[in-house]
Amino acid sequence: MRTGAAAVVLLLLAVPHQAYWPDYEVARRGLLAVLVGLACLLPGTLPARVPLAVGPWNALALWFLARCIGATNHGYALETAAHMLALAALLLFGTAVPLTRMLAATLPTGATVALWTLAQAFGWIDALPGVHDVTATLGNRNAAAEVLALCGAASALLAVGPRGESVSARLRWAAVVTLAACTAALVCNGSRSGLLALPVGCLPALLRPGRVPILAVLAAGVGLWWALGDAPRAPQQPNTAAVAAPSTVEVRLELWRGGLDMVRDRPILGHGSGQFGTEYPRYRRGREWELSTFGGRFLAAPAAAHNDFLQVAIETGLPGLVLLLVGAVWVLCRAPWSSSGPLLCFAVLASVRAPLGNAPAVATAALLGGALLHGSAGRMLALPFRQRLLKGVLVGGMLLWFGVAQLGSQVAAAGMLRRTAARTDPAGQLAAVERALRLRPYDHTLRGLRAQASLQQSAWAKARTDLEFLRRTRPDDELTARLWITLLRGEGRHQEARSALEALRRNAPDDPELALWSAELSVQFGDGRAAVATLYAARDPRLRAQLAVLLDQLAGFAERHALADAKLLRTEQAFVATIDRMTEAPGSDAAERAFERFRGLLVASGTSRGDARPLVLFAIQALALGKRQTAATLAGVAKTRTLEPQHRALLGALLIPLRALPEWRAIL
């Protein structure tokens, strides 16, 4: 592979972007497989002589292939093995190119991603549709940071010059400019892992005296960001989730503890190539779930261990981890210390992120790792032409097969998401995702998308087919469980839906959507009191803000179906509406009307005699109007009645003025 070809491959991996790809990483890994597969099929691309140091990487790729046996999802397993074969092939291609030329091949990608990031951050170009972080063209902020850090470390090495190789002055200046741009872009990006990895990657260049002061270039990059800080910025969509985001360090620690449990469970063979996302839910810790889902407010399932070394051990066992470490150490030992910066940068990223699945980042590392072995001392292996041809056909054919499937499925599914965003053509949405599934029938995301589209169109049979597949391959997935409950309700199997919902709520007792579903099913089964208790016990502020509306909907449903709990639900809705009115404007006419409506419904229901709520609300209203004596007198009657704890919790701050009265203090 020549320098120009390597530069084009890296650019193609980093630049193309489709905002409606369901999974950017899958699309880019598919593109990488296609490009490497085509290169393998071309005669003469595989080098005739390769260093012995590539042996552990070839063995690792073959071990990934062997660990496809017995995997829960064979499609994911084979795709992961194909990805590792592509990386082993890139390492071979890199051995045929001198390090200086390979470093130069990374400059266009680093400069493009950096300039695009800066332009996006400061509003010079529009942000990508549906993407509001500083992501350049990568669709993910952290994926962009990984590419920027690696290309920045490569630029630092090129600016100083690899030991024993000459670098032209023009190329040095290009490297200096790229390093400054990558530094400024990383500061704009804000990824802490990238900001840590870049200085580590520049460390060998910093320690080696050269004509270019790398520390000054890094400072210039920060200065460039500072100078651009006064430029008009593009308005960004507020991200309320990020405001209250938990510590990512704590999330990672909990994630790694669960990952270590997985390794201890299967230390030799692992859980199978590409099976982390499938198997992890069984080992997921409660604290990690609570942090990642913001206390159950959002669905979140980790797709990676955020530590590539740990993930390799999880999927392929300790033998896979040993092969990975031996291969990395062997390459580093064969190369001068001063040239190891980019690989050290990648190692830092791999310790806290998942760059092994980020196609442009890992392709850059693989090509540079191979170039480090170019011309190194050590035993060389000769590859006869027939052997190279056979390997090229086998590996290239496999990579093309899976690469076309990955990339094609994302392109096809993008049509569905585009129609979904525009809220048009429901039949076209379903047809688009079905085309994608013909290419990748094992894809969990696509199966989930088709199941959701089928449920929206009441196509229960199609939805059941997809959900049964998901329940078989991902039995502990929360989204699958929610969709399964929706299917059971749609099919009229309410008792099964209620049982499945109770099991799911044990893991997420405060989830507002699950609480509402539970209340709806309780009403359908004639247990209105359980429905009210479920909604009152939910602690999510969003559900509390909509509580009167939700109770009104439940009451309307009960009235339409002539259910016995219709009056109870209507009374409770009036109670919550009264609390809302008194909270907004205590003592107002609106609060008085809401109270009279609630009292009338309570009397009509025949349950007013033992209920203290009318007296409590009347006393609150009297205090708001300055009638302290009236409020104190009502306490004598309220002593003989009951105020349920759930009602007391709903009244909340409204009870504070009453507690100031000695007559009410003992009651409340």
Read off the pLDDT of residues 105-135 as tens digits, 9 standing for 90 and up. 999 999 999 998 888 887 777 655 555 566 7
* Bridge partners, 51 (sequence order): 380
Predicted confidence band of residue 245 (pLDDT cuts 50, 70, 90): low
pTM: 0.80
| Amino acid at residue number 640 | T
Determine the average pLDDT of the residues in 238-266: 76
Determine the average pLDDT of the residues in 592-612: 79
> Phi, psi at residue 510, to the nearest 5°?
-100, 10
- What pLDDT was estimated at residue 268? 94
Structure confidence by residue, pLDDT tens digits, 468-517: 999 888 877 878 888 898 899 888 888 888 888 888 777 766 677 777 77
Q: Is the pLDDT of residue 464 over 70?
A: yes
Lowest mean pLDDT among 92-96, 223-227, 292-296, 452-456: 223-227
Query: Would you give the end-to-end CA distance of the chain in angstroms?
Result: 80
Q: Please state, for a pLDDT cut of 90, what percent of the chain lies above it.
A: 32
For residues 561 and 524, give the distance between their C-alpha atoms in angstroms, rounded to a whole number.
9
Whose structure tokens read 């870049």? 198
Closest listed residue to residue 34, CA positions, set 399, 408, 356, 361:
399
- What pLDDT was estimated at residue 129? 56
3-state helix/strand/coil string of 219-281: HHHHHHHHHHCCCCCCCCCCCHHHHCCCCHHHHHHHHHHHHHHHHHHCCCCCCCCCCHHHHHH
Region class of 23: left (phi > 0), else alpha (psi between -120 and 50), else beta: beta
For residues 636 and 283, give the distance between their C-alpha atoms in angstroms, rounded to a whole number.
56
Query: Crossing angle for the helix pair 613-624 and 589-605, nearest 10 degrees?
Result: 170
> Which stretches of 491-565 are DSSP H helices?
494-505, 512-524, 528-537, 541-545, 547-560
Instruction: Give the DSSP letter string of 564-633.
Output: TTHHHHHHHHHHHHHHHHHHHSTTSHHHHHHHHHHHHHHHHHT--TTB-HHHHHHHHHHHHTT-HHHHHH
Tally the residues of the chain. Answer: 668
Give the chain's mean pLDDT: 84
Higher pLDDT, 513 or 654: 654
Predicted confidence band of residue 441 (pLDDT cuts 50, 70, 90): very high
Residue 351 to residues 54, 346, 461, Cα–Cα distance (Å):
22, 9, 44
